[in-house]
Structure 1
Amino acid sequence: MASPPNLEKPTKFVVVGGGIAGVTCAEQLACQFPSEEILLITAAPLIKTVTNFKQVSKTLEDFDVEEQPSSVLEDKYPNLRVLLSAVKSLQTKEHSLQTEGGQTVQYEKLCLCSGARPKLLTRDNPHVLGIRDTDSAQEFQRRLCKAKRIAVVGNGGIALELVYEVEGCEVIWAVKDKAIGNTFFDAGAAQFLIPSLEKEKPKKSLPCKRARYTTETDSSSHSPKGKSLDSGEPGSALGPDWHEGINLRGADKVSHRVHVEYQCEIQHIYSQEEFLLFCKYDTFTKKSVGQSVTRNPLIISCSNKGNWPVYIQLTNGKIYGCDFVVSATGVVPNTDVFLDGNNFELASDLGLRVDEHMRTSEPDVYAAGDICTACWEPSPLWQQMRLWTQARQMGWYAARCMAGDILEEPIELDFCFELFSHITKFFNYKVVLLGKFNAQGLGQDHELLVRCTKGQEYVKVVMSGGRMMGAVLIGETDLEETFENLILNQMDLSSFGEDLLNPSIDIEDYFD
């Protein structure tokens, strides 16, 4: 059993956050400074750890994320201590912070890795659920098993995974864009993936054997179940395979039925009582009621008996009744608890601004992961996205920068920030994103080359001035390393034209 941290004297390195960024940062510091005590503060007894790490190419990383008791870290690193408590306040001038448990922690260097919280449609509606951490995922599972229809609002990674994985329940999916997955790929890739929503999913060959843990209220840490490390919000983000081992089946016999409503958002959310009043007393104009309630067969079929717990009105005029609503509309950096009395500079997305050494505007305070916004001049081939791969990279790099500051050693911007790269899985397809994969920031000065084999692969490259700037690879293409090299080398490919994606030409022979 690890001894409790000594809070009587200043701690050289303090990290706040039990997610991927925070744990990675704390582990790296513990390795580099084995004689120094490293303190990790987290409200959640379960911390996120990176396992099965594989360096796929120069910049592509593939790994699993596991939840483990915080004691695992203390057993692995004798100089790393975990303090289970939420943070109450921070005084950067005094280099100290206070926890909800009443402790005062003095630090020399502090790294804030408290992640982000869901950007919920509404924060006070019991029928609206955000999925961000393990507790909210378990709450979703509990509600889903009794549900026959749910509404999913959003078009990011959580929404994409959820609508595909849910079975035994009808899904109404409201997206604000013209195509699904707009955050990750274009309309062509979306059309390639859409048929996967309409067919039976392949059987999973092996059950998930990963250990799972539950959390209970810990009176000693003053951190109730479901509260996060720093602001009373849900805890650290789910890993890339959050749905593995969770039964995502509803109460209906239907296997997999998804209805997508494009280019619309939520206009209003009604409880059952509010909706019945709306229908009875004509609270909107007669034109609205006539078009949206009495004449539209979609509306009549799902709401004529008034037996749904909640109703959503979309901006396209349609109304759907459902058992509950999943809000998957993005996140907001978890900064609130750190701002009072301090002078942190915030970016336009409300993240803490950090420079090329992960330093915030306050001295000796660093930040990594979803809480921060990279405000240095980025590489032409890189952009920040709040993904688990970047959380790991930022946490690791922040630790290097903190160490370099202490040791007075120069630190160059890590190579991982040279090229955006991400590997994941959507709709049971391997998905690789490289560089400016959606032509971000290129304006009209680009062209797209596409190769598609229905049900097998979708390959898109973004070209500008004869040079490859980005790529989307869906399926087992085995092109990621070759395309990564082409993007990094910025070789002039004009002479190849459309033959660059000709399947009869093995381009690896030319460019590897």
Structure 2
Amino acid sequence: MATAEQTFVIVGAGLAGAKAAEALRTGGFDGRIVLIGDETDRPYDRPPLSKAYLQGTTEREKIYLHPAGWYTDHDIELRVGTPVTALDRTEHEVVIDGVERLGYDKVLLTTGSSPRRLQVPGADLGGVHYLRRVTDCETMKAAFAAADRVVIVGAGWIGLETAAAARAAGCAVTVVGRSKLPLLAVLGAEVAETYAALHRDHGVELRLNSGVREIVGEDNRATGIRLTDGTVVEADAIVVGVGIVPNTALAETAGLAVDNGIVVDEHLATTDPDVFAAGDVANTFYPLLGTHLRLEHWSAALNQGPVAAENMIGRVTAYDQVPYFFSDQYDSGMEYSGYVPHGSYDSVVFRGDVAAGEFIAFWMQDGRVLAGMNVNTWGVTDAIDALVRSGERVDPAKLADPDELLRYLADRVPGGAR
């Protein structure tokens, strides 16, 4: 078990790292905690950066996870603007900015991820934006305020949420995506079509089945994109949202197992018993699903950090959450619970009014609920979670029937009651 003489170092001061530090203190660890981040801001929530904060409907102070004095009050050494450049597992030290060496008994890597860069001519021109940090959000917010025309490259969650923000700012918006529908790989055609309709209904032009050949510009500033068919789409600002890449350099150079992220077990432990990882960077084993997943979702960072903390203290705890994420676009809010490997479902059951944008979609395989997504329909995530967790067959007709209480169905499924 952990003792007061021990030092726990958390590398990465985002949601996973901050929640791990909080859990260490609330869990009774009274040793030294050092939380190190390379951003100059104290830990904050990232979802508002593509939603409310980007649209200016919430103030900056509300994105932070804790008040400014919270870390000092809880005897947590928060070091911001401080890059960790190496992990020396032999000496049990992290190297800070290539010079300072800080010893640890346990270390947690919550180094997150970075935006995938567009690899085309002109990608380094001014006016091309990526969204990951609060400083990116500030720059993008100003760009939307000044722009008439915005092009979004990428039709995933970040692309669609930033498109909604640009429309809220009064910009004409074009979204460019490689697939025939936005979010096709995540949601499948049946549900992806609802997001295509949502954005078209809000005046967004969708240029799908298309890619970017180059970014065109003049005077070192982007003025538009040239699509693979040769068409030029003019823009005053360009947002690139084509995925993220886990920040695994520390782990790789330290000799830890890395495969689409830092490989960890259900206890968030790496191949080194004194090194843990959580959040975007962690390729985690999910006992419920029987597979490793690296999930780039807020809920993974929120919940994995505290589980890692428990295991660092010595309380063996498995991370056994049903994957969850949410999105807000225009007046449409959704929550998604479960996991559907690409192409693995055999049917989608809809419940509610799809045309009105108030419904639940269930992805099914052999009569079992793999995942459920509730759109503008609230108070049902626990029931969906229970249906997914049970792994039992459910009558699709009852799932689709709004007169059947979803909570009752979940409780009636063997293994589904919570």
TM-score w.r.t. length of structure 1? 0.68
Residue 312 of structure 1 is matched in structure 2 by: 225
1:169 counterpart residue number: 171
Contact 2:15/2:65, CA 8 A, preserved across alignment: no
2:92–2:105 contact (8 Å) kept in structure 1: yes
Structure 1 residue 263, shift from structure 2 partner: 1.5
Q: Relative to structure 1, is the Cα distance of residues 478 and 22 closer, same or farther in structure 2, using a 3 angstrom cutoff?
A: closer
Q: Distance in 2 between matches of 1:403 and 1:66?
A: 29
Contact 1:11 1:39 in 2 (8 A): no
Q: How does 1:175-324 map to 2 (within 5 A)?
A: 175-182=177-184, 184-198=186-200, 257-272=203-218, 309-324=222-237
Q: Could you list the per-position Cα deviations for residues 160-207 of structure 1 after superposition, in whole angstroms to 9, with x for gaps in the alignment?
A: 2111121321112101122123354233333334444355xxxxxxxx
Find the aligned partners of 1:154 and 1:356 in 2 and give their Cα distance: 32
Separation of aligned partners in 1, 2:219 and 2:76 = 53
SS at match of 1:132: coil
Q: State the partner residue of 2:249.
A: 336
Report the CA distance shift for 1:260/1:14 in structure 2 as closer, same or farther (over 3 A).
same
What's the CA shift for 1:13? 0.4
1:213 corresponds to which residue?
none
Aligned AA (2:233): Y
Change (3 A) 1:382 1:354: closer
Query: SS of 1:374's equivalent?
Result: strand
Corresponding residue number in structure 2 for 1:420: 323
Shift of 1:337: 4.4
Corresponding residue SS for 2:105:
strand
112-121 or 158-167, which moves further after superposition?
A: 158-167
Structure 2 partner of 1:240: none
Q: Would you say 1:140 and 2:140 are equivalent positions?
A: yes
Deviation readout 1:239-276 (Å, 9 max, x if unpaired): xxxxxxxxxxxxxxxxx6421101122122222379xx
Render the CA deviation track for 1:122-155: whole Å, top value 9, x for unaligned: 4633332111110011111222222111211112
Q: Which residue of 2 aligns with 1:105?
A: 102
2:347 pairs with 1:447: yes
1:472 aligns with 2:360: no
Identity level (%): 22
CA distance in 2 between partners of 1:158 and 1:174 (Å) = 13
Which residue of structure 1 lines up, in the alignment, with residue 79 of structure 2? Answer: 83
Secondary structure at the counterpart of residue 97 of structure 1:
strand
- Computing the radius of gyration from Cα coordinates, the structure with the larger value is 1
- SS for the counterpart of 1:177 is coil
Q: Is the 8 A contact 1:11 1:106 kept in 2?
A: no
Output one character per residue of 1:45-85: Cα deviation in whole Å (capped at 9) or x when no partner: 4223579xxxxxxxxxxxx97226884332331x3111232
Q: Using the alignment, how far apart are the partners of 2:148 and 2:290 within structure 1?
A: 47
1:502 aligns with 2:415: no
Shift in Å, 1:377: 6.0
Q: Structure 1 stretches of 5 or more lacking a match? A: 1-9, 52-63, 200-255, 275-307
Residues 124, 441 of structure 1: CA spacing in aligned structure 2 closer, same or farther, 3 A cutoff?
closer
Asked if the contact 1:48–1:65 (Cα under 8 Å) also holds between the matched residues in 2, the reply is no
Listed one character per residue, the Cα deviations across residues 410-439 of structure 1 (whole Å, up to 9, x for unaligned) are x141332xx223344333222121223xx4
The higher relative CO (CA closer than 8 Å, separation ≥ 6) is in 1
SS in 2 for 1:500: helix
Tell me the alpha carbon deviations over residues 15-39 of structure 1, each in whole angstroms, 9 at most, x when there is no partner: 0111000101111112234431111
- What is the aligned partner in structure 1 of residue 36 from structure 2? 41
Q: Which string of whole-angstrom CA distances, capped at 9 and with x for unpartnered residues, describes residues 197-245 of structure 1?
A: 355xxxxxxxxxxxxxxxxxxxxxxxxxxxxxxxxxxxxxxxxxxxxxx
Q: How many residues align?
A: 387
- The alpha-carbon distance between structure 1 residues 66 and 265, as it changes in their structure 2 partners (threshold 3 A), is same
The answer to whether the 8 Å contact 1:312/1:320 transfers is yes
Partner residue in 2 for 1:66: 63
**CA RMSD for the aligned pairs?**
3.0
Q: Which amino acid aligns with 1:333?
A: P
- Alpha-carbon spacing, 1:171–1:424, altered in 2? closer, same or farther (3 Å): closer
Counterpart in the other structure of 2:53:
none
Aligned partner (choices 107, 117, 120) of residue 117 of structure 2 = 120
Structure 1 position 313, deviation (Å): 1.6
Cα–Cα, structure 1 residues 324 and 415, in superposed 2: closer, same or farther, change >3 Å? same
Aligned letter for 2:382?
A: E
Q: Distance in 2 between matches of 1:141 and 1:130?
A: 12
Which residue of structure 1 aligns with residue 91 of structure 2?
94
- Secondary structure of 1:190's aligned partner: helix
Q: Unmatched 5+ residue regions in structure 2?
A: 47-60, 412-418
Inter-partner Cα distance in structure 1 for 2:391 and 2:376: 25
- Counterparts of 1:65 and 1:382 in 2: how far apart (Å)? 33
| Cα distance in structure 2, aligned partners of 1:98 and 1:510 | 53
Aligned to 1:32: 27
Compared CA separation, residues 391 and 46, structure 1 to 2 (3 A): same
**1:385 aligned partner, one-letter code:** L
Answer yes or no: is the 8 Å Cα contact 2:310–2:317 preserved in 1: no
1:457 corresponds to which of 352, 358, 361: 358
Q: How far apart, CA to CA, are the structure 1 residues paired with 2:217 and 2:70?
A: 45
Amino acid at match of 1:104: R
For the residue of structure 1 that corresponds to 2:146, the secondary structure is coil
Distance 1:270 1:511, change over 3 A: closer
